[in-house]
Amino acid sequence: MRSSPVPKNFPAVLVIGLVLLGVCVIASLALGSRLVRFHELIDGLFHHQADSYGASVVRKRISRTVFSLFCGAALGVSGSLMQSVTRNPIADPSILGVNTGASLFVVCGIAFLHIGTANQYIGLALAGAAITAVFVYGIGSMGRGGATPFKLVLAGAATSAALSSLVTAIMIPRSSVMDQFRFWQVGSVGSATWSAVAAFVPFLIAGMLIAFMTAPALNAMALGDEVATGQGVRTGTLRLVAALGGVLLCGVTTALAGPIGFVGLLATHVIRLILGPDLRFVIPMSAISGAVILTVSDVCGRLIGSPGELEVGVVTAFIGAPILILLAMRSKMRSL
Partner 1 sequence: MGSHVFQAEQVVAGYDRQTVIDGVSLVVPVNRISVMIGANGCGKSTLLKALARLIKPESGSISLDGKPVGKIPPKQLARVLGLLPQSPIVPEGITVADLVGRGRFPHQSWHAGWTSKDAEAVAEAMRIMNIAELADRHIDELSGGQRQRVWIAMALAQQTDILFLDEPTTFLDITYQIEILDLLTDLNRKYGTTIVMVLHDINLSARYADHIFALREGKLMAEGKPSEVITDLLVKDIFGLDCAVIKDPVSGSPLVVPKGRYHAGSASR
Q: Which residues of 60-71 are buried (b: 16+ CB within 10 A; e: fewer)?
A: ebbbbbbbbbbb
The Cα 223–Cα 281 span in angstroms is 17
Smallest separation (angstroms) from partner 1 to the CB of 3? 5
Whichever of 49 and 335 has its CB closer to partner 1, that residue is 335
Site string for partner 1, 75-104 (x = CB under 8 A): ------------x-x---------------
* φ/ψ bin of 115: left (φ > 0), alpha (ψ from -120 to 50), beta (otherwise): beta
Is 272 a binder of partner 1 (CB under 8 A)?
A: yes
Site string for partner 1, 232-271 (x = CB under 8 A): xxx-------------------------------------
Helix axes 10-30, 38-46, angle to 10 degrees: 100
User: Applying CB under 8 A, which part among 17-25, 27-35, 229-237, 295-303 lies near partner 1?
Assistant: 229-237
Query: CA torsion, points 219, 261, 203, 191, in degrees to nearest 10?
Result: 160
Smallest separation (angstroms) from partner 1 to the CB of 264? 17
Burial of 232 (0-12, 13-18, 19+ CB in 10 A): exposed
* From candidates 191, 229, 318, 328, binder to partner 1 by CB under 8 A: 229
User: Applying CB under 8 A, which part among 3-11, 112-120, 134-142, 194-202 lies near partner 1?
Assistant: 3-11
Whichever of 169 and 227 has its CB closer to partner 1, that residue is 227
Smallest separation (angstroms) from partner 1 to the CB of 275? 9
- Would you give the end-to-end CA distance of the chain in angstroms? 35
The Cα 114–Cα 171 span in angstroms is 13
* From candidates 60, 230, 326, 329, binder to partner 1 by CB under 8 A: 230
Smallest separation (angstroms) from partner 1 to the CB of 216? 6
Q: Please give the C-alpha separations between residue 307 and each of 240, 263, 302, in angstroms, as whole numbers.
A: 45, 25, 8
* From candidates 22, 116, 143, 224, binder to partner 1 by CB under 8 A: 224
Smallest separation (angstroms) from partner 1 to the CB of 5? 5
Smallest separation (angstroms) from partner 1 to the CB of 234? 6
Phi, psi of 97 (to 5 degrees): 85, 0
Whichever of 150 and 183 has its CB closer to partner 1, that residue is 150
Q: Please give the C-alpha separations between residue 157 and each of 97, 151, 184, 215, in angstroms, as whole numbers.
A: 6, 10, 21, 27
Site string for partner 1, 201-220 (x = CB under 8 A): -----------xx--xx-xx
* From candidates 227, 240, 304, 325, binder to partner 1 by CB under 8 A: 227
The Cα 115–Cα 249 span in angstroms is 21
Of 121, 135, 138, the closest CA to residue 191 belongs to: 121
Smallest separation (angstroms) from partner 1 to the CB of 229? 5
Smallest separation (angstroms) from partner 1 to the CB of 222? 5
Smallest separation (angstroms) from partner 1 to the CB of 136? 22
Query: Around Cβ 7, how many Cβ atoms within 10 Å?
Result: 18
Q: What does the binding site for partner 1 look like in residue numbers (CB under 8 A)?
A: 1-6, 87, 89, 212-213, 216-217, 219-220, 222-224, 226-227, 229-234, 272-273, 276-278, 334
